[in-house]
């Protein structure tokens, strides 16, 4: 196991007075909050191998750690940065998600989904037959899995059975849920599609920039990073209309913190902070460390701070 390294980059204002309501609300969905609010305000950072996906379970940050041919899932306590566990992952681990009880990992190399118990990281089950899963989303009841070959599958998290298959017409990558629809980024066609979660009906295809790779939801709008055209798109979730486009070089991972959109600037070693209300740039923050870095790449919000993965065996906390 690689030595734990600490890298504190910046801080963001905490999101206060936000708890888990009995009924889902747009803010809860946008923040991927399938857990009660974490009121702890003591923060730290952690590191692992290169990480291409992260999630948060209400207390702990989970990340896929790739170090050469070795794939792991690491669990770190958000309150103090303590490494709580390192768990072996299947080949090609490429996506990770918390569903309120368990951690799910999409294994593109192994063509499977693995379910880990969030409490201790033990493997509950691995389900085969998922062709190169590249993205995961949760709608409060079901998983949504994007697969190479042009489809997004709705999956029962209890037993891994496939409920329905929605065809996208192109290879989907990132997926995100807005309370009614599941959105999928079509990397090779410079589009995103909207799928009705209730029945899998395709409810719209919308043009965006080149190579849409990551997405997030702010309670009203869908944000899409397009690394090929160096911009971030903001689409109104109700009808898919483009609300704005904002220039961001090497735009990759997107994180919404309740007020701002954070964009990982892959290869630039910076993070861009946009005001969600109008897309204006609030700041661009360099990520520094003792060794040369590339990234940031994927990110997650823990209810108070934003985390981003970097290459060079670091994960940074803002």
Domain harbouring 282, CATH code: 2.130.10.10
| CA neighbor of 228 nearest in space, from 208, 244, 242, 243 | 208
- Domain membership of residue 20 (yes or no) is no
| CA neighbor of 233 nearest in space, from 279, 186, 299 | 279
Pairing of strands 54-56, 133-138: unpaired
The alpha-helical segments, DSSP class H, found in the chain are 26-30
- Domain membership of residue 18 (yes or no) is no
- Domain membership of residue 126 (yes or no) is yes
Please state the length of the chain.
Answer: 318
Which residues constitute the domain of residue 198?
26-317
Q: Which of 130-139, 169-178, 309-318 has the lowest mean pLDDT?
A: 309-318
- Domain membership of residue 8 (yes or no) is no
The span from the CA of 265 to the CA of 223, in Å, is 15
- Domain membership of residue 11 (yes or no) is no
The span from the CA of 92 to the CA of 151, in Å, is 19
What is the band of 20 on the pLDDT scale with cuts at 50, 70, 90?
very low
| CA neighbor of 308 nearest in space, from 105, 73, 52 | 52
Number of domains in the chain: 1
pLDDT given at position 2: 42
- Domain membership of residue 17 (yes or no) is no
| CA neighbor of 310 nearest in space, from 284, 271, 283, 272 | 271
- Domain membership of residue 9 (yes or no) is no
Mean pLDDT of the chain: 84
Q: What is the mean pLDDT of residues 116-120?
A: 96
pLDDT given at position 315: 76
């Amino acid at each position: 196991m690689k030595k734990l390294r600490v890298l504190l980059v910046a801080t963001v204002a905490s999101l206060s007075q936000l708890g888990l309501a009995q009924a889902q609300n747009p803010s809860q969905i946008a923040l991927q909050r399938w857990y009660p609010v974490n009121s702890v305000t003591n923060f730290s950072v952690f590191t692992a191998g290169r990480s291409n996906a992260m999630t948060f379970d209400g207390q702990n940050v989970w990340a896929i750690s790739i170090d050469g041919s070795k794939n792991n899932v690491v669990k770190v306590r958000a309150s103090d940065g303590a490494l709580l566990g390192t768990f072996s992952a299947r080949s090609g681990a490429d996506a990770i998600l918390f569903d309120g009880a368990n951690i799910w990992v999409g294994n593109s190399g192994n063509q499977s989904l693995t379910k880990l118990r969030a409490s201790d990281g033990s493997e509950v089950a691995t389900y085969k037959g998922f062709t190169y899963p590249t993205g995961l989303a949760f709608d409060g009841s079901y998983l949504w899995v994007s697969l190479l070959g042009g489809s997004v599958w709705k999956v029962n998290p209890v037993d891994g059975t496939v409920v329905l298959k929605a065809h996208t017409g192109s290879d989907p990558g990132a997926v995100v849920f807005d309370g009614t629809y599941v959105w999928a980024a079509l990397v090779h066609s410079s589009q995103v599609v909207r799928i009705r979660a209730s029945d899998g009906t395709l409810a719209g295809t919308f043009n965006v920039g080149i190579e849409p790779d990551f997405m997030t939801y702010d309670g009203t709008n869908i944000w899409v990073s397009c690394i090929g055209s160096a911009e971030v798109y903001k689409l109104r979730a109700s009808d898919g209309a483009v609300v704005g486009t904002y220039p961001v070089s090497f735009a990759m991972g997107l994180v919404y913190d309740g007020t701002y959109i954070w964009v990982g600037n892959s290869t630039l070693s910076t993070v861009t902070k946009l005001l969600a209300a109008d897309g204006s740039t609030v700041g661009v923050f360099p990520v520094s460390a003792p060794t040369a870095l590339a990234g940031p790449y994927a990110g997650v919000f823990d209810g108070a701070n934003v985390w981003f993965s970097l290459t060079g065996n670091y994960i940074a906390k803002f």
